[in-house]
Amino acid sequence: MPPKIKSPEDREKLRTSILDAARSLFVARGIEAVSMREIARQINYSATTLYHHFADKEALLQAVCDEDFLALASGMREIMQIPDLITRIRALTNGYARFALQHPNHYRLMFMTPRAPCNLEITQIQQGNTEQDAYAQLKLVVQEAFNASLFKPELANFELIAQTLWAGIHGVCSLEIALGHETWIQWTDVEERLGLMQSTVLNGLLRHPENFI
């Protein structure tokens, strides 16, 4: 028998357990293949209990997405206060990588699923909000560096620069998450890979990279 929910703290703990179980199952088996009943079994509760917290699987999936994207953005808020723009860009990409490698299940669902798992209409408020959207944070600092003429003059689109930085860090992180335990690849240290990728991309983007070594 599952324990009775007696307090707001108990309800919050149960909600967290539901989100964790749903996330793990969505990643392992695919969103469409997982049912509310299966998620409930994972934490030893009835499906009825889940429906007390979430109207349906789509609402549960949305809650997982909202929590994970907010956690990523929240972890960057202090970094956004760094005054030097290039130091801030480096810190943002490092923070993004740290989140990905410390929370691989979160990252898989957020950025490595076959289709976008979140309801884009619901997340419109979050998109572009630097308090809730990590891409908006990166784009903001890249735009500031672009306006300060820190990038090569032939680079005329700051969003292209931001997306290139994102693609580079995502490549290292996704390979580590997907294949990092494979022994047929003689992996070097992931921190070295991240550092080299970051330096290589920035050296190719900056007008005067020698000023930021």
Residue 188 has pLDDT above 50, yes or no: yes
Ranking 42-46, 94-98, 170-174 by mean pLDDT, the lowest is: 42-46
How do the residues of the chain divide into helix, strand and coil, expressed in percent and rounded to 5?
65, 0, 30
The per-residue pLDDT for range 90-120, each reduced to its tens digit, is: 999 999 999 999 999 999 988 988 655 565 5
Residue 12 pLDDT greater than 60, yes or no: yes
Q: What is the pLDDT of residues 52-74, one digit of tens each?
A: 899 999 899 889 988 898 899 99
Catalogue all structural domains in the chain, each as residue range(s) with its CATH number: 8-54 (1.10.10.60), 69-212 (1.10.357.10)
Q: How far is CA 210 from the centre of its chain?
A: 31
Q: What is the rounded distance in angstroms from the CA atom of residue 107 to the CA atom of residue 178?
A: 11
Return the bridge partners of 151, or none: 206
For residues 98 and 133, which has the higher predicted lDDT (pLDDT)?
Answer: 98
pLDDT of residue 99: 96
Choose the weakest-confidence range: 3-12, 22-31, 125-134, 143-152.
125-134
Percent share of the chain, pLDDT over 70: 89
110 contacts 23 by C-beta, under 8 angstroms:
no
Average pLDDT across the chain, whole number: 89
Tokens of 4: 């009775």
CA 26 to each of CA 33, 53, 60, 64, 105: distance values in angstroms, whole numbers, following the listed order: 8, 18, 11, 10, 9
What pLDDT is recorded for position 202? 95
pLDDT at residue 118, as a whole number: 60
Cβ–Cβ under 8 Å, residues 137 and 80: yes
pTM for this prediction: 0.85
Torsion sign (Cα): 160, 161, 162, 167 = positive
CA distance linking residue 12 with residue 47, whole number of Å: 17
Q: Which residues of 14-40 are buried (b: 16+ CB within 10 A; e: fewer)?
A: bbeebbbbbbbbbbeeebeebebeebb
Q: Please determine, for residue 158, whether its predicted confidence score (pLDDT) is greater than 90.
A: yes
Q: What is the CB-side half-sphere exposure of residue 142 using CA atoms within 13 A? A: 25
Determine the pLDDT at residue 213.
65
- For the chain, percent of residues with pLDDT exceeding 90: 64
Distance of CA 7 to the CA centre of its chain: 31
- Distance between CA atoms of residues 52 and 79, nearest Å: 38
* Confidence grade of residue 124 (pLDDT, cut at 50, 70, 90): very low
Lowest-confidence range among 19-23, 94-98, 119-123, 187-191?
119-123
Distance CA(66)–CA(121), nearest Å, equals: 12
pLDDT average, residue stretch 35-54: 91
The kind and range of the H/E element at 3 are none
